[in-house]
Structure 1
């Protein structure tokens, strides 16, 4: 029996089982860390609101390059079939499937909370990460502009920020990012998984089209913002053949750094991704999963620290070798992007002198 596919959504199902209904919870050390759309027909997205107690999320993961982040939204309308953050919706009692894409939460008051947290006497400045769980520039940002308000505060306080996004909407904040970059306070990573429009339409249906992401890289680079590209995730037999093409396009657009992550399928992401394969690429589904399991010790996912980002086996080694050779060929990864922390000066701290 054929599966009915919603062309404007990534997940093909809305799972109902929820491991958080049971007190016997298994943490795999993965999502607990965080934790062209204009061409598609409009779809109803439900928005709810949350009054968070804090703005900054902390993590102590030994294999992540940041220890703090801000996630202004829960859920992500981009609908990427492989998104590792989908299980966070299960924690809320919602489905990591379609609910993750269409039932979003806007965290109200995040900018005000952020300012208060930065003004605490014991706050120690280190780079802030945006886009570690859900995309800070997903379509809902166009209405609420929470990410822009966060950037305004980080700019006012000279606080360094690292942004990861699949959206060309980041270009709209160049007026903030370029002056910050000139002070050594901002860097952007644009995630580019494919250059093929048809692949993108099913794999990440409501994210910015590939050519527009390349244009965003160019605009950021020309504005003096350090910009890198992330080939994340690389998926066997789906987009792995595009490694060199993506690196070349990114380098020509002005990127000077690149990174890659082979696909990870933690918890509920695995059945969602498998269903997507069956619906969109049934001819290669078995081959894709065979390669993934080869890299993950015979499983769909390996969630242990360090191991989750270092898949094993001949296929993984071949992908790493191709990526590294491509970076050398196109002049990427010639320098490290380091952000300054010595300029940080939260508004109001000087009052403690009186």
Structure 2
């Protein structure tokens, strides 16, 4: 008997959030106001049934707008003990994959944009990322450390096929023999095997594929524009065949949604060629919390209250606990049970739970300055 067979009694129903009609191919239809906005507006029923009418109307999903931005820096440092890397490079802000649970959604608030629908339809592309990375590596003070590409938003989201910013970043990493890891849920990474495989052979590259569910119906509403589960497994196989060490992230673990799949996910990943694995429990910082709860009420009204009760049980009675050492794993009996299941499934499938080690000693500074880029005109955000 597993955890699914010992479900607690269903808690009393909580007040449900008003629903918005779903948008095909989008994680959320909610243009939620960000937390820095000084004024807030609420929808009001004027007696003519306008709220019911809006909810019943089928709305077309908005197109994706890409803003090309020239940034001043591209390398970010990390001092959190919860993360297995020291530096990160994110070629994009926002992500068209539309994962409803994405912890990076609140970063769009700093752009005066909504962490809801804007996050997945208003993508900021850092077109001079490679140029800035080379400049960072040329500084005498720079010391090579474990660097992760795409730690916040997916470096291989759909727009990468056209812009190739991530590929240009990897070209700089290859030129300088700088080790890196990369996390993605896109099959687009297969395009760059010609760059990554030779680096992996020198212990300079590792890839982690995010695998949250084997159920295509669940994946379609949870991560609407990411690769389908079977396609991600094929990507793991392709990476492994090319000699690239592959890890799998079964994250986030959502109680009673994808949590029952933990063991099957790790078994499938190991069969495809993964050699390492880890899992992180659901995180609901800032605006992610109401966005996720509305999604939960819309798609799983029969178990929404139970899911949130379990989340709060792992968070000391709160929806989220941002403390280091707690935010990734949670605490309490159920959090410990999850960690035990992960540990046993990882061991049973002969996977490694530690970080794939890379060689930082091969790093060499660039021998040339970055080529002069074209400033160009920045695209209109809402054009």
Q: How does the TM-score come out when normalised to structure 1?
A: 0.90
* Matched ranges for 1:1-354 at <5 A: 3-19=20-36, 21=38, 44-333=63-352, 337-348=356-367
1:25 paired residue number? none
Q: Is the 8 A contact 1:7 1:202 kept in 2?
A: no
Between 185-194 and 120-129, report the one with greater CA deviation.
120-129
Q: Which runs of 5+ in 2 are unaligned?
A: 1-17, 40-59, 369-383
Please list the CA deviations of residues 229-250 of structure 1 after superposition, one character each: whole Å capped at 9, or x if unmatched.
0000010010011011111111
Report the alpha carbon displacement of residue 315 of structure 1 after superposing the two structures with TM.
1.6
**Whole-angstrom distance in 2 between the partners of 1:307 and 1:188:** 25
Please list the CA deviations of residues 157-211 of structure 1 after superposition, one character each: whole Å capped at 9, or x if unmatched.
1000110001111111111110000111000000000000000000010000000
Q: Is the 8 A contact 2:26 2:61 kept in 1?
A: no
**Which protein shows a greater Rg?**
2
Q: Is the 8 A contact 2:37 2:112 kept in 1?
A: yes
1:36 paired residue number? none
**Whole-angstrom distance in 1 between the partners of 2:152 and 2:267:** 27
**Whole-angstrom distance in 1 between the partners of 2:149 and 2:79:** 17
**Whole-angstrom distance in 1 between the partners of 2:352 and 2:213:** 20
Q: Is the 8 A contact 2:34 2:112 kept in 1?
A: no
C-alpha change, 1:127 and 1:269, in structure 2 (3 Å) is same
**Whole-angstrom distance in 2 between the partners of 1:130 and 1:295:** 29
Q: Is the 8 A contact 1:12 1:272 kept in 2?
A: no
Q: Is the 8 A contact 1:55 1:114 kept in 2?
A: yes
Runs of 4+ in 1 over 6 A off after TM superposition: none
Please list the CA deviations of residues 23-43 of structure 1 after superposition, one character each: whole Å capped at 9, or x if unmatched.
xxxxxxxxxxxxxxxxxx985
SS of the residue corresponding to residue 233 of structure 1 reads coil
SS of the residue corresponding to residue 174 of structure 2 reads helix
Please list the CA deviations of residues 35-84 of structure 1 after superposition, one character each: whole Å capped at 9, or x if unmatched.
xxxxxx98510111221101211222232222211111110000001000
**Whole-angstrom distance in 1 between the partners of 2:353 and 2:21:** 47
Q: Is the 8 A contact 1:12 1:276 kept in 2?
A: no
**Whole-angstrom distance in 1 between the partners of 2:189 and 2:167:** 9
C-alpha change, 1:234 and 1:57, in structure 2 (3 Å) is same
**Whole-angstrom distance in 2 between the partners of 1:247 and 1:310:** 18
Once superposed, what is the RMSD of the aligned Cα atoms? 1.8
Size of the aligned set, in residue pairs, is 332
Q: How does the TM-score come out when normalised to structure 2?
A: 0.84
Report the alpha carbon displacement of residue 106 of structure 1 after superposing the two structures with TM.
0.8
Q: Is the 8 A contact 2:248 2:277 kept in 1?
A: yes
Report the alpha carbon displacement of residue 335 of structure 1 after superposing the two structures with TM.
6.9
Report the alpha carbon displacement of residue 110 of structure 1 after superposing the two structures with TM.
1.0
**Whole-angstrom distance in 2 between the partners of 1:21 and 1:335:** 44
